[in-house]
Structure 1
Amino acid sequence: MNASEAAASFALKVYGWVGQGALPLSRPWLFQRARKGKEDKARLNERFGYPSRERPAGPLLWLHAASVGETMAVIPLMRELRRRDIHVLLTTGTVTSAEIARDRLGDTVIHQYVPLDLRPAVQRFLDYWQPDVAIGVESEIWPTTLAELNQRQIPQILVNARMSDRSFQRWMRYKPVAEALFSKLALVIAQSDLDGQNFRDLGAWPVQVSGNIKADSDAPPCDDVVRASYNVQIRNRKTWAAISTFDGEEAIVAMVHRALKAHTGLLTILVPRHPERGDEVEAMLKEKGLVVARRTRNDPITDETDIFLGDTIGEMGLYLRLTDLAFVGRSLTADGGQNPMEPAMLGCAVLSGPKVSNFRDAYQQLVRKGSARVVRDAEMLAKAVHFLLTNDLARTKMIDAGLETTQEMRGALAATMKGLEAHISPLSVQAKLVPRAAGTN
């Protein structure tokens, strides 16, 4: 072992020791998060690896999707795995992603909250569930979990893998540690050629490229009765949506609305990334003299309504179907961006700030084809919204380009399944040899 390898090994040991020392503090920390609505208080034991469901007989694939975006992305993948009779254990880290999983998948998969990356919790989790394969989504790398899987010779795969420029630069500063971790992955299936090269540079092998499986996701659903009711209330008012916004972006949206309201009779649909911020966002809007209708209260949209505040979970399909122009947040005051493919595939012209490293490849394709535009600041956003609301031809061209581009981007799911074949085919064969218990899926 050379000096770099020894340093990496010591750094990972220190990580483990720190985790052990933090174990007594983890339960109070989780209770504090539960009080804020960020944890399910009734299921906190799952975060320590204690199961709340029975393990089914036969092969089991553990798939971890950290939050809502990752969960939505791999729903088609989980459905494909279930068609092969492979049991899927889905872990998530947020309450909202658990609700999405329940609403979209029901009992077809087993849901648990992901155990904390602490050795006792991870060992307890793995001892009980005994997964045959573990799949992480996008950028989930947890040192203790990876080490435990490696020790048990359970292959860990990363699908739809991405690496932002900032993350890559940070890992490169600690390259020996990165290589010690990434070399343990059995397979990486990356979103783009650049993502793939970044993972290779950090020690991952083999690495394949599939494209972004979010392009293969179904369009988010919508209750047509609710949609029709809101369309009647909105009538012929001009609308735009600001979706997946982060702190600071809602104030910019309010400024844009106030600047354009007198000229367009505008209704702004505002959907914060974290719905639990609804009270905070409403208070800010009211301080600025704006009239707010909240979805959680079923407030009607009247002629006086300035902002329709979409503070619910799982209704993005509704909000995007009430407009054809959407600004995608976490791109002006926060960094990383959010998924632009959902609004594009639902017939919206797309606007975004410049900080979109988490969706770099998708934005490059959408901008290149003319279906998305990048704005630098609040003033430029206001000008872009005004131009597109008052120029039907330009807006329609962007919408048509988005529909075409998102269709062209499809195919990543098939490529991912092909890449996984060597790992999942044996499980599929084994599953067919296991007698099904009465009433199981």
Structure 2
Amino acid sequence: MNRTLYTLLFHLGLPLVALRLYLRSRKAPAYAKRIGERFAKGLAPMQTGGIWVHAVSVGESIAAAPMVRALLKRYPQLPITITCMTPTGSERVRAMFADEPRVQHCYLPYDLPWAAARFLDHVQPRLAVIMETELWPNHINQCAKRGIPVALANARLSERSARGYGRFARLTQPMLAQMSLIAVQTEAEAERFRQLGARPECVEVTGSIKFDLSIDPQLLVRAGQLRAQWQADRRPVWIAASTHEGEDAIILQAHRQLLEHHADALLILVPRHPERFSAVFELCQQQCVTQRRSSGEAVTEQTQVLLGDTMGELLFLYALADIAFVGGSLVANGGHNVLEPAALSKPVLSGPHLFNFLEIAAMLREAGALQEVDDAQGLAAQVRRLIELPIDARRMGDAGLSVMRANQGALQRLLDGLARLF
């Protein structure tokens, strides 16, 4: 399939796209808003001639934030346009850069030539930076036609994804050949990009910028103050974060098993997607004394579960806990960022499905900072072990922080690569 056929199929599939938006809007009403932006219509006036950064959703937006702040500092005369595809990503971008007048935001239009052209004519960027592996052939081709260099930052490409791209070589090979920089996390991923058609001179191994996460010292201070306010200084607190459908019941089962041995244990449960907050709250209420973080009420001795149903607080909620489980891993979703709790010196637990973070997970596992579990019984056992053996918990936390520090520097290497494109 070449780009012409791809574009034709995309046009024919627009009714399905509209249906998907409608179905999503039933759970998350924000999907029914700003639809014009998805076709580059009705865009607000924007500063032109700057840098366009695309981060598909919340995770990529958070990962991109240090890069965006560094670019703002390095190029004080340039505006930065950040695009995403989801309402939660949009909310996160606006929250992170609310006080920065040079950062502007909209949804990325669908990958149709005329929509991509209209968007680029409106923003007129000098450089395009795509986070991780959100590749759109028509957007990249329209950039190439205008002489706009395109960089893929913090790029990932699993063996499975590479096989998928390889099945459509007539579409993906020309697209990758149009890229100006592919900054990958590992040499294995670099080789996959080269085999798919990327120009070898454009592929660089820079490492993962997620290792360059910096923790505000005040975050730990605020977390300590809140735990003291809850009178939970000596109470065991663990967090299960970024959970997906199918995981919450397993985690609650593990928590009930834990309560049999540590009756004062508190679980902070944080679903990945806001549209699931209410359903997970109901599930928690059926089994445990539960409070919502959004209520603003203080946790009491009777509280067994705190539902993390706020946006932009994940690092703070990690800081509140003694032990961290990272979700998306008990189900075959591929896992989420295990480096966030590691950066806070927390012992990290996960399920077995970590194919989105294979190399990072391997580093943490080999250092003794990450322990994988398969089910509720295994999860309860590991949380209990870390509560009862604080020296082991401290050793895991220290090991994770050491891995973080040993692998930092990717952001600087990425910034140097982007500077050459100017």
In structure 2, relative to structure 1, the CA distance for the partners of 1:38 and 1:222 (3 Å cut) is farther
Q: In the TM superposition, what whole-angstrom CA distance separates every residue of 1:134-155 from its partner, at most 9, and x where no partner exists?
A: 1111011112222222233322
Task: Report the Cα distance in structure 2 between the residues aligned to 1:33 and 1:189, rounded to whole angstroms.
Answer: 33
Task: Report the Cα distance in structure 2 between the residues aligned to 1:24 and 1:340, rounded to whole angstroms.
Answer: 38
Match of 2:368 among 367, 370, 391: 370
2:316 corresponds in structure 1 to 318
Secondary structure in 1 aligned to 2:194?
helix
1:45 corresponds in structure 2 to 36
1:159 aligns with 2:153: yes
Question: How far did residue 40 of structure 1 move?
Answer: 5.5
Secondary structure in 1 aligned to 2:371?
strand
Match of 1:75 among 65, 69, 73: 65
Alignment of 1:84-233 (within 5 A): 84=75, 85-106=77-98, 107-205=101-199, 206-219=202-215, 222=219, 228-233=225-230
Does the 8 Å contact 1:51/1:128 carry over to 2?
no
Does the 8 Å contact 1:115/1:125 carry over to 2?
yes
Does the 8 Å contact 1:348/1:402 carry over to 2?
yes
TM-score normalised by L of structure 2: 0.92
- More displaced, 77-86 or 220-229? 220-229
The amino acid across from 2:406 in the alignment is: E
1:244 corresponds in structure 2 to 242
Does the 8 Å contact 1:51/1:112 carry over to 2?
no
1:264 corresponds in structure 2 to 262
- More displaced, 118-127 or 60-69? 118-127
1:431 corresponds in structure 2 to none
Task: Report the Cα distance in structure 1 between the residues aligned to 2:43 and 2:246, rounded to whole angstroms.
Answer: 39
Gaps of 5+ in 1: 1-7, 425-441
1:292 corresponds in structure 2 to 290
In structure 2, relative to structure 1, the CA distance for the partners of 1:339 and 1:25 (3 Å cut) is closer
In structure 2, relative to structure 1, the CA distance for the partners of 1:39 and 1:150 (3 Å cut) is farther
Does the 8 Å contact 1:164/1:358 carry over to 2?
yes
2:281 corresponds in structure 1 to 282
In structure 2, relative to structure 1, the CA distance for the partners of 1:273 and 1:231 (3 Å cut) is farther
Task: Report the Cα distance in structure 1 between the residues aligned to 2:337 and 2:9, rounded to whole angstroms.
Answer: 34
Q: In the TM superposition, what whole-angstrom CA distance separates every residue of 1:39-70 from its partner, at most 9, and x where no partner exists?
A: 3555222111125332325x311110011111
Task: Report the Cα distance in structure 1 between the residues aligned to 2:176 and 2:30, rounded to whole angstroms.
Answer: 29
Task: Report the Cα distance in structure 1 between the residues aligned to 2:225 and 2:244, rounded to whole angstroms.
Answer: 29
Question: How far did residue 230 of structure 1 move?
Answer: 4.1
Match of 1:66 among 56, 80, 83: 56
Secondary structure in 1 aligned to 2:53?
strand
Task: Report the Cα distance in structure 1 between the residues aligned to 2:298 and 2:351, rounded to whole angstroms.
Answer: 31
Does the 8 Å contact 2:223/2:319 carry over to 1?
no
Superposed CA RMSD: 2.1
Secondary structure in 1 aligned to 2:134?
coil
Task: Report the Cα distance in structure 2 between the residues aligned to 1:262 and 1:118, rounded to whole angstroms.
Answer: 56
In structure 2, relative to structure 1, the CA distance for the partners of 1:38 and 1:342 (3 Å cut) is farther
Secondary structure in 1 aligned to 2:135?
coil
Match of 2:408 among 404, 410, 417: 410
Secondary structure in 1 aligned to 2:182?
strand
Task: Report the Cα distance in structure 2 between the residues aligned to 1:411 and 1:124, rounded to whole angstroms.
Answer: 36
The amino acid across from 1:70 in the alignment is: E
Task: Report the Cα distance in structure 2 between the residues aligned to 1:224 and 1:371, rounded to whole angstroms.
Answer: 23
Question: How far did residue 324 of structure 1 move?
Answer: 2.1
The amino acid across from 2:80 in the alignment is: V
In structure 2, relative to structure 1, the CA distance for the partners of 1:218 and 1:54 (3 Å cut) is farther
Q: In the TM superposition, what whole-angstrom CA distance separates every residue of 1:303-337 from its partner, at most 9, and x where no partner exists?
A: 22221110111011221111121011111113211
1:16 aligns with 2:7: yes
Task: Report the Cα distance in structure 1 between the residues aligned to 2:34 and 2:223, rounded to whole angstroms.
Answer: 32
- More displaced, 226-235 or 264-273? 226-235
The amino acid across from 1:305 in the alignment is: T
Task: Report the Cα distance in structure 2 between the residues aligned to 1:147 and 1:397, rounded to whole angstroms.
Answer: 49
2:332 corresponds in structure 1 to 334
User: Number of residues paired by the alignment?
Assistant: 413
The amino acid across from 2:207 in the alignment is: G
Alignment of 1:24-35 (within 5 A): 26-27=17-18, 29-35=20-26
Task: Report the Cα distance in structure 1 between the residues aligned to 2:16 and 2:172, rounded to whole angstroms.
Answer: 27
Secondary structure in 2 aligned to 1:263?
coil
Task: Report the Cα distance in structure 2 between the residues aligned to 1:222 and 1:403, rounded to whole angstroms.
Answer: 16
Q: In the TM superposition, what whole-angstrom CA distance separates every residue of 1:381-414 from its partner, at most 9, and x where no partner exists?
A: 2221111111111111001111111111210001
Does the 8 Å contact 1:138/1:159 carry over to 2?
yes
Does the 8 Å contact 2:180/2:421 carry over to 1?
no
Query: What is the identity percentage for the equivalent residue pairs of Structure 1 and Structure 2?
Result: 36
Question: How far did residue 36 of structure 1 move?
Answer: 2.9
Task: Report the Cα distance in structure 1 between the residues aligned to 2:69 and 2:254, rounded to whole angstroms.
Answer: 41
Does the 8 Å contact 1:213/1:411 carry over to 2?
yes
Question: How far did residue 419 of structure 1 move?
Answer: 1.4
Secondary structure in 1 aligned to 2:294?
coil
The amino acid across from 1:385 in the alignment is: V
Task: Report the Cα distance in structure 2 between the residues aligned to 1:259 and 1:28, rounded to whole angstroms.
Answer: 42
Gaps of 5+ in 2: none
In structure 2, relative to structure 1, the CA distance for the partners of 1:250 and 1:319 (3 Å cut) is same
In structure 2, relative to structure 1, the CA distance for the partners of 1:243 and 1:391 (3 Å cut) is same
TM-score normalised by L of structure 1: 0.88
- More displaced, 164-173 or 289-298? 164-173
